[in-house]
Amino acid sequence: MCGGALASANIYPRIWLEIFELAQRGKLQEALQVQSRIDPVIDAIYLEINPGPLKIFMALSGMPVGP
């Protein structure tokens, strides 16, 4: 078993579940296409050291998580 913790899964849990399910079924190109929809946000939350940008994005999305 392998896995990881995705910071962006806090803001896109359904999309990451879709990506995971597509990849698990061997539909890697489709999974990459779905991921490409959120790549700009992923790039943005890693512009600075985490978790700062992620917390800002979550607060802007209506999910404040504190300081």
For every residue of 22-37, DSSP letters joined together read HHHTT-HHHHHHHHHH
pTM metric for this prediction = 0.73
CA–CA gap between residue 37 and residue 18 (Å, rounded):
12
The tens digit of pLDDT for each residue in 5-29 reads 788 888 899 999 999 999 999 999 9
Tens-digit pLDDT profile for residues 21-56: 999 999 999 999 999 999 998 888 888 877 888 888
Cα separation, 2 vs 51, in Å, equals 23
Tell me the two tokens of residue 18.
């879709």
